[in-house]
Amino acid sequence: MTAAPQIEVPGGAAAAPPRVTRGRGLLVAVAVLVVLAAAPLFLAPFATTTLTRIVVFALFAVSLDLLVGVTGMPSLGHAGYFGAGAYAAGWVSINVTAEAPVPLLVGAVFGALAAALTGWVTVRSSGVFFLMLTLAIGETLQQVADSWESVTGGANGLAGIPATRVAGTALANPGYTYWYVLVAATLGVALVVLLARSPFGAALRGIRDNEPRMRALGYPTALYKYAVFVVAGSAAGAAGALLIAQQRLVTPADLGFMTASFALLAVIIGGAGSLWGACLGAALVIIVRDALGPSLDGHGTLVLGIAFVLVVYLLPRGAAGVRLFRRRT
């Protein structure tokens, strides 16, 4: 177990906060959850829909942060697993059943499956090479979604997905949909946070900071990296299942480079490594893209690009902050 901050813990303060902060953190989290849960009672339907999208993207961003911030694997193709889960959940909702939690579980399983199939090549590379490889994988998955018309609907995507049903009744109301998404996403984020706080998570952070040393200590780092890749893919797939619960539609663009870039942006802005930061980043990205974008003539991307640049400059200073990349010897 990591010690209190008298010793220089790799990764700095973001790695393992001492007990006192953790208790405070829990209180803040509960408070935020209460506010979020009460939101539909006060907000108009369109605002609730936007909030739902934020929550979905937050789970997606948290799953990416598990890879990028906690394990130091910068992925530009994570949207591929997000989309895989969305397509699977959508297909099941149309052809089998839309009864919760079936689409959610299917999404998580398919996200994990897609990550398992493609992840084994990625764990042998790192840093910028890993970035390019995941970019290629994401593009390939998008291409599959585009071409496999009989299953994925091709370029048109899967439309007409029925509303998720809870205990028999369909969630047609933005408020009820939001609550379902909120509960599922909270569970997902909580599981990821627990994982990051466990000894497994500590090993991941060790891998992030100095993989050769971890190997020297006897850890099978490739196996750990593969495992977290699959877990992150599963969480992303679950987020995808929530996407279709809200959007009732999934298209190849949801697997693409732009979606993956926005997720990475959310993680970086929030502060890679601190999982709740990814949630904030997700909120910012969705608000700028969906709420502000139309009033900026569709140029929300410009604002996000500038934010990206600023964040990279002003974020963690050097070694004391969060390190995303294992140190070269």
Partner 1 sequence: MVVSILNGFAIGFLLFVLAVGLSLVFGMMDVLNLAHGALFLGGAYLGAALSGGWGGFLTALAVAAVAGALAGGVLSLMTEPLRNRTHLDQALLTLGVALVVAELLIMVFGDDPLSVDAPPGLDGSVTLLGAVYPSYRLVIIGIGAVLALVVWLVVERTRVGALVRATVADREMVATLGVDNRLVKVAVFAVGSALATAAGVLGGPIYGARPGLDAAVLILALVVVVIGGLGSVRGALVGALVIGQVDTFGRVLLPDLASFILFAALAIVLVVRPQGIFSGPVGAR
Partner 2 sequence: MSELSRRRMLGLIGAAATVPALAACGSSLGGGSTAPTGAGGARAIKVGLVVPKSGVYAALGTDMQAGWELWLAQHGGKFGDVTVETVVADEGETPQTGQPAVQKVLQSDGVDVVVGIVNSSTALGVANLFTESKKLLIVTNAGAADVTGKARTPYMWRTSFANAQVSAAMGQHLAASGFKDGVFAIAPDYAAGSEVIAGFTKAFEAGGGKVVGTVKPAFGKTSDYQPFLTQIQQSGAKATFCFFSGAEAITFVKQYAQFGLAPAIPLYGSGFLTEGSVLKQQGAAAMGVQTTLHYSDQLDNPANKTFVEAYAKANNGASPSVFSMQTYDAANVLNRALQTSGGVDGDALSKALGGIGTVDDSPRGPWTFDGQNPRQNMYLRTVQDKGGTLVNAIVQDLGPQSQPA
Q: Which residues pair with 165 in a beta bridge?
A: 99, 170
Pick from 33, 159, 302, 312: which binds partner 2 (CB under 8 A)? 159
CB of 70 vs partner 1, minimal distance in Å: 14
Min separation Cβ 95 and partner 2, Å: 15
Which one of the spans 193-201, 225-233, 237-245, 318-326 is the region binding partner 1 (CB under 8 A)?
318-326
Using rule CB under 8 A, residue 287 touches partner 2: yes
Cα separations (Å) of 247 from 178, 184, 262, 288?
Answer: 11, 16, 18, 18
Site string for partner 1, 88-127 (x = CB under 8 A): ---------------------------------x--xx-x
157's contact among partner 1, partner 2, none, with CB below 5 to 8 A by partner kind, is partner 2
User: Which residues does 130 contact at the CB level (< 8 Å), separation at least 6?
Assistant: 73, 74, 75, 122
Q: Which of 212, 220, 298, 305 binds partner 2 (CB under 8 A)?
A: 298
**Separation of alpha carbons 119 and 75, rounded Å:** 11
Specify the residue, 40 or 138, whose C-beta has the smaller distance to partner 1: 138
Question: DSSP label at 158?
Answer: B
How many residues touch partner 1 (CB under 8 A)? Answer: 36
Q: For residues 247 and 93, give the distance between their C-alpha atoms in angstroms, rounded to a whole number.
A: 13
Element (H, E) at 149: helix 149-152
Report which of 255, 313, 319, 311 is spatially closest to residue 288, judged by C-alpha positions. Answer: 311
Backbone torsion region of residue 105, taken as left when φ is above 0, otherwise alpha when ψ lies between -120 and 50, otherwise beta: alpha
> Out of 9, 29, 43, 227, which residue is the one contacting partner 2 (CB under 8 A)?
43
Q: Is residue 166 helix, strand or coil?
A: strand
Nearer to partner 1, 42 or 313 (CB): 313
| Structure tokens that stand for 185 in this block | 């996403």
Q: How far apart (Å, rounded) are the C-alpha atoms in residues 212 and 275?
A: 25
Q: Which is nearer to partner 1, 47 or 131 (CB)?
A: 131
Does residue number 10 form part of the binding site for partner 2 (CB under 8 A)? no
Q: How far is the CB of 299 from partner 1 (least distance, A)?
A: 6
Our finding on whether 265 is near partner 2 (CB under 8 A) is: no
- For position 26 contacting partner 2 by CB under 8 A, the verdict is no
Residue with tokens 């990296």: 225
Nearer to partner 1, 34 or 121 (CB): 121
List phi, psi (to 5°) of 236. Answer: -65, -40
Asked whether position 174 contacts partner 2 by CB under 8 A, the answer is yes
The Cα angle at residue 47 between residues 240 and 24, in degrees rounded to 5: 75
> Looking at 140, 186, 210, 247, which residue binds partner 1 (CB under 8 A)?
140
Residues that bind partner 1 (CB under 8 A): 74, 121, 124-125, 127-129, 131-133, 135-137, 139-140, 143, 147, 257, 261, 264, 268, 299, 301-302, 304-309, 312-313, 318, 323-325
